[in-house]
Structure formats: structure tokens, C-alpha cells
Amino acid sequence: MGLVAETQVTCAPCGHVLTNANVWSRDGQWIVYDTRSDAAGAVFDGTRIERVNVETGEVQLLYESRYGADCGVVTWSPVEERVAFILGPEHPKADGWTYAATRRRGVIVDAGQPGVACNLDARDLTPPFTPGALRGGTHVHVFSGDGRWVSFTYEDHVLSALDARSPDHDLNQRNVGVSAPCGPVRVSDGHPRNHDGDLFSVLVTRTVAEPTPGSDEICRAFEDAWVGTNGYRRHDGTSQHRALAFQGEAVTSDGRLISELFIVDIPDDITVPGDGPLQGTATLMPTPPGGAVQRRLTRTGDRKYPGIQGPRHWPRSSPDGSQIAFLMKDDAGSVQLWTIAPTGLAARRTGRRSPS
């Protein structure tokens, strides 16, 4: 095996922060990044989305934020020359609407039209709210395998403004959602921070304030990933066209909070409500659409080192959707790579301990 050579492709005196997935263009010629100053990306202060050609070193500006807004966490579409990323609020000091997890949006920019950002998700902060619009902020926008849908994590501004000690409303807890091309969503101008969106957005996960110990209830859904390029095959041989794997925080029977691997099967039509309003209410989190099925894949509470553990990571799926990979410690305390089928078959260790 020949030696692998490393080549530096950027040298500008600014940050070049990569998202955890989909930083390569579909032709493998460009890498996309943002310019946040912190190497870990923890400080959200970038103002540019750029791409660099790995052969020539050419750098192109795709988007530069304006009016005090920041932008970052950018990903490519796998089928088109489009990128999705977070855009913070413009004029953030005008009304105190500064950047926060509940105050950000997803936008899309076509590489052929740099500088032109289209809102991915609509926002409606005025009751009774609008189906297909959200009431908070989205984060880590990742295109599905066909490039038509986008997943994200979400936090709710409406609920975050309520007293967290009150039992009369849902809590603002991180959830996972999707945006789909079901037509543009138009909202009222009842709040100065309302805006329209090009896609129809819903939450697909469900959280509770206090999970019952030993149950499959979770208080947080995060670190999501699309399962397969075109979903996966069920036990009966039929196809589940779209599904997301994600980490969910559950409580063990003895009261410990741990992360487990979950999956949610997503219906083809997300505009049909389930057992509550898609858009939520003044006291309730938006409800997943009818046909969204959330399932637990791992049960690690009885292991010596329970829970998904290791460096911060997102699950990853094989292209055919038959296996989902994640990190977990073995009985010796070493972090290993494990895989599990989306149908819930037993997890298998694929990593090997390094010799001490």
C-alpha cells in the first residue's frame, strides 16, 4: 500500500469549519465550509460560506451574511449544486432577537446563484400558528439521499419563553424534524420575526418532560442521520422510503440518564396530522405527522458501560439502509464501532481494540 499524502487546500487567516456530514460536492471536486473562528465550531460567529476546489485550490464565496447575522454548519445536496446551512437573525440587536438555538433558520443557496439564500423552514410565532411552519430554530440541515427532503434538529422558541417550572405546558426539548417539498408555506406578519419558507416542515420525534424509568420514552432527540440512500427494507420485504436514526436520551430502570439509538419511520405524506396539531399550540410542542413511528433500537441499560458513548458523533447508515453504525464501549471500557439493523436485530461490534 502506498503512502497517503496530505495536502493543505486553504490558507486564509480565518476558520474553515466542516460539518459532520456531506461536505463534499456530488462531483468530488469541492469542499464546503464556514468561517467560524473557533476550531471546534462552538462559537457561532462565521459570516461566510465558501467552497474550495481540491485540485486547484480555488476558493469561491457562496454566501456572505448581512446586517449582523452569522451563518454556518453547511452541507451539500447529494444530487444538485445546492448547499443548506444555518442563518442567524439579521439586525439581532434591534429587538433583542439575538442568535440562540431557538432563533435560527435553515436556508438554501444554489452554487449557480451565490449570495441568494432561500428560506428552508418557515417560522410562525403567532397563535394559532401555521401547519408546515415552525416556532423556533433549526440546526444541522442534511439532505436526504434523493436531495428532496432535509432533516434538522429543532428547539422551540414559544415554549422556551414559558416558565420551565410550570406543569401546564410542554418543555422546550431538542427534537428532530424534516422539511419536504409539499409546496411553499406562507405565514402571517403577526410577529416581526415571522418568515415564509420554501418547504413544509414538521417534527418527527416525540419527547416527554420526565421519561418513565425503563421505558422507551425520551427527553431529548438529537444527532440524526438518514437511513439508506432510499430508506431500508422491512422484515416483510416492503420498503420504508424514508427514516432517520438518532440518539435519544432515556432513563434506565435504576434512574440513570443515557443515550440510546432510535429510529423514526417517516410517512410519504407529512402534511397529515397525527394525534395532535402539526404546528403545535401555545402550550404544546408540534406533533409528528400521522404514520410517523418512533422505535428504540438499542437497549444497553444492563451493560457494564450503558448507553451510546465515545466522542460526540452522529449515527451513519450503509447506502442500502441495512446497517446503522454508532459508537459504544465494550466491556473493557474501550470505545468501539457497532452496527445494528434498522429492524432492530442485535447490535454487532465491528471495531477491534488496539493493542496496548
Q: Using alpha carbons, list the distances in angstroms from residue 10 to 1, 13, 33, 237.
A: 27, 9, 11, 47
Indicate the pLDDT class of residue 73, thresholds 50, 70 and 90.
very high
Q: Using alpha carbons, list the distances in angstroms from residue 47 to 25, 65, 67, 85.
A: 21, 5, 10, 12
Percent of the chain residues topping a pLDDT of 90: 90
- Note if the pTM is more than 0.85: yes
Cell numbers found for residue 111: 452554487
Q: Which residues contact 227 (CB under 8 A, 6 or more apart)?
A: 240, 242, 243, 244, 245, 263, 317, 321, 324, 342
Q: Which residues pair with 339 in a beta bridge?
A: 325, 348
Cell numbers found for residue 258: 443515557
Indicate the pLDDT class of residue 1, thresholds 50, 70 and 90.
low
5-17, pLDDT tens digit by residue?
Answer: 889 999 999 999 9
**Residue 157, SS3 per DSSP:** helix
Q: Using alpha carbons, list the distances in angstroms from residue 147 to 78, 79, 87, 318.
A: 6, 6, 20, 17
Residue that is written with C-alpha cell 414559544 in the block: 158
27-69, pLDDT tens digit by residue?
Answer: 999 999 999 999 888 999 999 999 999 999 999 999 999 999 9
Identify the DSSP state of 47.
-
Indicate the pLDDT class of residue 354, thresholds 50, 70 and 90.
very low
172-214, pLDDT tens digit by residue?
Answer: 999 999 999 998 999 999 999 999 999 999 999 999 999 999 9
Average pLDDT value over all residues in the chain: 95
